[in-house]
């Protein structure tokens, strides 16, 4: 990621367009990832608890630990790369702002904790489902927000 930090942006239209392209792609990726999780895990508390804990009355089996762990394993990998790319571009463009450090740290922490809270929720109680839901949504919204700020700065500077 060093090239994103050191190369002079003012003299490179190609780099501006590359950063713009990857930010747009990551913005849509984060949006669609929320939709994907709504399909896989559930879109409301009832469907999420049905997926994680099953429902005897409606004859719904709980999700297998293998399947959930695979989802978490993939989520961690995808989060790491998407957040690293967004963060490295954002730091480059907004290094003079005091909020940058906090926003990037929050994004990394939310991206890491959300998948882990999902596993914790599976083994414990519905309370952690809310924690997962909040951290997952906040992480994705923050990522999309940072992507939008990058796009805005690159397009209208």
- Of 17-25, 112-120, 133-141, 145-153, which part binds another protein (CB under 8 A)? 112-120
For the bound state, the minimum distance from the C-beta of residue 80 to another protein, rounded and expressed in Å, comes to: 4
State yes or no: residue 143 binds another protein (CB under 8 A).
no
Q: Which of 40, 45, 47, 52 is nearest to 123 (CA)?
A: 52
- Residues numbered 53 to 92 that lie near another protein (CB under 8 A) are 65-66, 69-70, 72-73, 76-77, 79-81, 84
To another protein, the closest distance from the beta carbon of 40 in angstroms equals 16
Is residue 25 at the binding interface for another protein, with CB under 8 A as the rule? no
What tokens does 156 get?
């209208």
2 binds another protein (CB under 8 A): yes
Q: How far is the CB of 64 from another protein (least distance, A)?
A: 9
Residues that bind another protein (CB under 8 A): 1-2, 65-66, 69-70, 72-73, 76-77, 79-81, 84, 108, 111-112, 115-116
């Amino acid at each position: 990621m060093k090239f994103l930090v050191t190369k002079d942006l003012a003299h490179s239209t190609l780099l501006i367009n590359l950063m713009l392209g990857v930010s747009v792609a990551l913005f849509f990726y984060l949006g669609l990832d929320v939709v994907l999780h709504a399909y896989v895990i559930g879109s409301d508390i009832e469907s999420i608890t049905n997926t994680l804990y099953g429902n005897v009355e409606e004859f719904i089996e709980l999700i297998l630990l293998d399947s959930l762990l695979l989802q978490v394993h993939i989520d961690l990998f995808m989060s790491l790369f998407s957040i690293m790319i967004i963060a490295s571009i954002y730091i480059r463009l907004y290094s003079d702002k005091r909020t940058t450090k906090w926003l990037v740290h929050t994004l990394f922490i939310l991206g890491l904790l959300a998948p882990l809270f999902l596993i914790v929720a599976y083994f414990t109680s519905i309370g952690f489902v809310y924690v997962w839901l909040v951290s997952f949504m906040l992480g994705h919204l923050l990522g999309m927000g940072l992507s939008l700020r990058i796009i805005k700065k690159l397009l209208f500077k």
